[in-house]
A and B are shown apart, each in its own frame.
Chain A
């Protein structure tokens, strides 16, 4: 059973960089056909797809975040990373990592709340 676990600081200061990791266990991280995604949910709001990466390192980003965003993958450690620069209060959210096949996000981490505040 695939399991995903987000980790990182729960508090980031405005203008700084938000950095999160997602550890993946129980499955083949390098198996083709899966994309590894970051999704966020603002408090009390809906879901926003941030971007994804493939085991090859290729990425797709949400254009609304692209200028501040880097998603990377480390297949030797079975984890993916998210870096979001120049954060503001609008980046306060629960951040999820999730696996997707062609049809849907079928496995999710539990999520991590990141608050942007001084």
Chain B
């Protein structure tokens, strides 16, 4: 299985801040990476796919980058609705695997 490791596991930030979440794969996944946002009691929501492509309807303050084994999700100008848990996930191999999640809360 491809292991996905996110850092940090938790993060405190303020409205308007720029935050970055990292995700490392245990092998080269050739950009086959997605990012999801999950709020309590809700299903995850796709934000970014193919490492850097913004899903339709997702605000442009969300961006993704990376290649090979290392990827990042950046949120520029945090809004109140952005405080949630974020997951990375690889689409390169079977089984599909997720990172352990990064909980973003208000400082």
Contacts and interface: CB of A to CB of B under 8 A. Distances in A.
Interface residues of A, number: 23
| B-side interface mostly | loop
A105 B100 CA distance: 17
Contacts, number: 56
Contact of B43 (A48, A100, A104, A110): A110
- In this complex, the member of B43, B44, B45, B53 whose beta carbon has the largest number of chain A beta carbons within 10 angstroms is B43
Contacts of B44: 47, 105, 108
A111 B98 contact: no
B46 interface: yes
Nearest to B87: A47
Interface of B: 1, 32, 34, 36, 42-46, 49-50, 53, 55, 87, 89, 91, 94-101
Going nearest first, the 10 A-B pairs with the smallest beta carbon separation are: A108-B43, A104-B34, A103-B49, A49-B96, A104-B49, A62-B95, A47-B98, A104-B46, A46-B100, A46-B101
